[in-house]
Structure 1
Amino acid sequence: MVDAHYAEEQTNEVEILQSIYPTELEILHPKVPQKFTISIDVEDYDEIRPCNLQLTVEYTETYPDSLPLFEISLTPSTLPEPSDTEAELNDKDLCDLTDKLRELGEECLGMAMVFSMSTGLKEAAVQRLVEKTAELVRAKEARIQKEIEADQAKFIGTPVTRANFLEWKAKFDLETKDHLRRLASEAGDDRARKAAGGSKKDEDRRLTGRQLFEQDKSLAQSDSTFIADGDVAVDASLFVQEDDELSSDE
């Protein structure tokens, strides 16, 4: 059973808290020692994402000379998915906030401390969200800067140093020698082919008029198309025979 002195202090503090948080405070256990929750909205800050925390407090029999039992929870958000620069509180953050409230409560032992704990919780939550948001903003700016530098690097060549120039020159000279060697080899092959078979091919290609005439009988036959009525036909073989006789006489 709670001592009357402690019961009175606890009842008085709950009444004060109800006047401060008319809609935010909800009594869960009306009898001494009492248990209640306080809803803490974190939303009046442009640079952070709004959120809602629940501070659940249960008095001990010797409160305020001892710390109350308390728990911090995060109300599920109904907001759209956060952007890449909107920070949210996580379980680790809630653990850190719990430690901060415990330290604050120990500093207030002997006095009503729930109001100080609720305001301290809101301030600590805001500070944590501001820090996490700033980290996200810096990370995004660094990522954008890195992307810009990567794009700019595409248009910037490798700086020329003595070492990489000599390396490039040695490679260039080797490739040039290989190229010239191939050209010389190809030119030599062409000359060899010409020396070996070029004269015979040229000789084969240079036919006399007689040889052309003999090989293509259509040349003689085609002239017959121009013979008109009354013209005398000429036997071309006579000329061929006469040409042979002249050649033999010579």
Structure 2
Amino acid sequence: MVMIFTLVTAVQEKLNEIVDQIKTRREEEKKQKEKEAEEAEKQLFHGTPVTIENFLSWKAKFDAELLEIKKKRMKEEEQAGKNKLSGRQLFETDHNLDTSDIQFLEDAGNNVEVDESLFQEMDDLELEDDEDDPDYSHADRESDLTD
């Protein structure tokens, strides 16, 4: 019995050592992975150091790209502008525009119908007097009457 107890105790101690080694190895691997991930993240943020030469070359490329974009826009605007006329150019070329508004107003004016029955009971309505309004002045009323 004593011998079995000694053997079982020795085996338990050995198993505990093995489990501890596995735990420490896993922790070390985890720390190593975190360290590698942190270094990889630092590498992403660590770029080329900016020097005068690097900046000037980048600036030249950037200005060239902007100039190309501006040229493309100007070409597109010119092509779109060829088809469109300004309001003044339309007015100068099309003489029907001189009288079109007047004709529209005349046509619309003849077609308006007013239902007079809606205005039969205007006396029953309580309308606010302008004299009760603090912003009202008699000069405004006189100018309205003279107009």
Q: Same fold (TM over 0.5)?
A: no
- Which TM class, normalised by the smaller chain length? 0.3 to 0.5
Greater RCO (CA < 8 Å, at least 6 residues apart): 1
The structure carrying a bigger helix percent of its residues is: 2
Q: TM-score, normalised by structure 1?
A: 0.29
The structure carrying a bigger strand percent of its residues is: 1
